[in-house]
Amino acid sequence: MPARCCRLTRAGENGQLPVIDAEGRSIALGDLQADDMRALDGLGVESDDLHASRKRLALAADAERRGLERSLHDGVQQQLVGLAANLELVAGSVDADLEAAKKLLAEMARDVRDAMDQARKLADRIYPPQLEVGGLVAALRSAAANANVPARIEIARDQTYPPEVAGAIYFCFRDLLENVSAGSTVAITAQSDGAEVAFDIVVDGGLHADRSLLGDRIEALGGRCAIEPGSGHQTRVIGSLPLSG
């Protein structure tokens, strides 16, 4: 609500000071109070929404960290423990049984490749290097391939965005990929007018993502996000992000 410029004049017959706005019109104090109350109510709702959004983001970040810890403990760490044990076996069997040692070394090489692959996937969950090396399109294609979800990506390869903007779009897309039903397909388009980038993600199939959290990621950067039903079994995520603060 735009601010009113007002001034007080001499008291009227009822002893109350009338209020005159910038255009010389008299305004009842009751109207001003009602407007103020409505404005305060609106601010209260916005404050509650902001608090709820921050809480969802904090809880999601905690859940992500716990998931990373479990993946490190149950995956990479266990593989490294196994490699250490196998190294001791190799050291003790090289002289006694060379063929067995060679076989064990081949198994260890496979385990090392698996550990490296898991470490790469964990790094991608923190921040995908493709965003810096290959750009947004490359990162989106890699995310779709890792999730084994057919995806159509219609974004100009030569289009670049600030890291925080590209990251927000990427993680929104990745969250959708990780929460679609089997057999679903996903399509994403993005265009920029120089001031902001608008994106549209269409999921053709079942979707089980936390829809509030999807919007929180975008709105935290001053953007807008809406999740709407599409035709048939489709769900559309339509959003925009400013390209400068």
Measured distance CA(240)–CA(245) in Å, rounded: 13
Class of domain 134-242: alpha beta
The CB density around residue 174, as the number of other CB atoms within 10 Å, is: 20
> Does the pLDDT value for residue 18 go beyond 70?
no
The top-scoring range by mean pLDDT among 23-32, 57-66, 94-103, 201-210 is 201-210
> Does the pLDDT value for residue 47 go beyond 90?
no
- pLDDT value, residue 160: 87
CB-count exposure of residue 57 (10 Å: 0-12, 13-18, 19+) = middle
Rg (CA), the chain: 29
118 near 75, Cβ under 8 Å?
A: yes
The DSSP symbol for 207 reads: B
Question: Mean pLDDT across the stretch 152-173?
Answer: 91
Question: Mean pLDDT across the stretch 12-29?
Answer: 50
Judged by average pLDDT, the poorest of 105-114, 120-129, 195-204 is 120-129
E strand or H helix at 44: helix 29-71
Question: Which tops the pLDDT comparison, 6 or 142?
Answer: 142
> Does the pLDDT value for residue 138 go beyond 60?
yes
Judged by average pLDDT, the poorest of 111-120, 147-156, 180-189 is 111-120
**Tokens 């989106």 map to which residue?**
140
Mean pLDDT of the chain: 78
Question: What would the pLDDT profile of 173-230 be if each residue is shown by its tens digit?
Answer: 998 998 999 999 999 999 999 899 999 999 999 888 776 777 888 888 889 998 888 8
> Does the pLDDT value for residue 36 go beyond 70?
no
- pLDDT value, residue 34: 62
